[in-house]
Amino acid sequence: MTNDGLNICVADIRNKIYEAGLLRTDERMILIAGNCVLLEHFTGKKYSYRMVDLHVIKAKHLFSRKKPLTENGYQRAVETMLVQASPEGRLAIGDSRIRARELLNHIFCSILPDFLNRRLFQY
């Protein structure tokens, strides 16, 4: 993962968590928000959710549910991770929307017009 949060290799993050001894056998990565990872584990009766803060390489139990998370549940999980993350992790999660907006702005205001201008003047 780079400092700007754009180049995220899920396999590298998974290996980092595994090597730290924090990844359980049947646990899976659900989402990555900033420098935090949401993990899901089905216990047989309920779904258990934990977060791993990649700055301090620590896992924290967030909550358990009888049913898996829905789309609204993911947003609430990210908000919960934001509250429980280390200060560095909080900044990364909070900055993700700003960074996404900046990235889209750059694509549509710089890259796309440049591309279209080159194509128009090619002929």
Is 0.85 topped by the overall pTM?
no
Q: Which residues contact 83 (CB under 8 A, 6 or more apart)?
A: none
Highest mean pLDDT out of 1-5, 16-20, 111-115: 16-20
| Helix, strand or coil, per DSSP, at residue 18 | helix
Q: Write the single-letter amino acid at 88.
A: E
Per-residue tokens: 42: 């089905």
Q: CA 105, 107, 108, 111 torsion: positive or negative?
A: positive
**Residue in 34, 32, 102 with CA at minimum distance from that of residue 14:** 32
Res 4: pLDDT: 46
pLDDT at 93 over 70: no
